[in-house]
A = this chain, B = another copy of it.
Amino acid sequence: MTIDVVLCVPSCEGPIKKAFEVTGVTPAVAASGRLNEVTALEPTDGYAGAVINAAGFPFNDAMNLCRQLRHRDRPVGPIILLVDHYQLDDLTFREDLFDDFVVGPFDVSELATRLRHRLRRAGNESVAPRIEQGGLVMNLETYQATIAGRVMDLTYMEYELLRFLATNPQRVFTRETLLSRVWGYEYYGGARTVDVHVRRLRAKLGEEHAHLIQTVRSVGYKFGADAERGDGDL
């Protein structure tokens, strides 16, 4: 039997270290939080999971790391996020990027219990590997998207934006929300950026499916076929 190695970013100290000891798994500490470091440290049989302390380094970087880990060819196990209380709101609409979270100040028992819980449950839970909405299929592992069977050649940002919209169908997002959730920064200047990316996406969706991304005037954009049938499915 091999030893479980769990990725730990960016550090493994205090209660976090204790929790690892109690649980009996070995941490691999990637201090930089960069993907190449993560890959370099990886044991031959892969990581059993990941603990990312989003309270310990820039939140956006943490989110990006999650995204990258999810998209890797070799999937890492369950991702556990450590956050401060004030960061809870930032988790909204990002539910797919992590499998569990712990709110600081971090308690050893809780950390250990969650670690054990997720590691044990790993395998039973399939992380929704794909999105299907109105002819659009997005494979979250291969980074590929098809519309009505035709492969769309999307760039990174296009993919992320489309994914975000498609995972929350029918819901309207303001440009500011999109900027903060997809781009991950606080709106310096260009809200028009969103418009342009939407335009590019619509172009790649093709004439026929361009309407999948709808403009809600004075509000923002939403994904989804029109609910024009009178079934009132709000």
Which residues in B have their C-beta under 8 angstroms from that of A100?
100
* Contact count band on A: 35 or more
**Would A149 and B230 be within 8 Å (CB), given that A100-B100, A142-B170, A170-B142 are in contact?**
yes
Q: A32-40, A46-54, A216-224: which one contacts chain B?
A: A216-224
Interface string of A86-124 (1 = CB under 8 A from B): 001101100110011101000101100100110011011
Among residues of B, the one whose C-beta sits closest to the C-beta of A112 is B88
User: A130–B234 contact, CB under 8 A?
Assistant: yes
Q: A197 within 8 Å of B by Cβ?
A: no
Q: A196 within 8 Å of B by Cβ?
A: no
**Which residue of B120, B128, B170 contacts A234 across the interface (Cβ within 8 Å)?**
B128
- Give the number of copies in the complex: 2
User: A113–B91 contact, CB under 8 A?
Assistant: yes
Q: In whole angstroms, how far apart are the Cα atoms of A202 and B99 in the complex? A: 38
User: A232–B88 contact, CB under 8 A?
Assistant: no
**Would A170 and B144 be within 8 Å (CB), given that A139-B234, A234-B130 are in contact?**
yes
Which 9 A-B residue pairs are closest in the complex by CB-CB distance? A149-B232, A156-B218, A139-B234, A150-B230, A146-B232, A95-B120, A88-B109, A142-B170, A1-B233
A residues in contact (CB < 8 Å) with B? 1, 85, 88-89, 91-92, 95-96, 99-101, 103, 107, 109-110, 113, 116-117, 120-121, 123-124, 128, 130, 137, 139, 141-144, 146, 148-151, 155-156, 170-172, 216-219, 222, 227-234
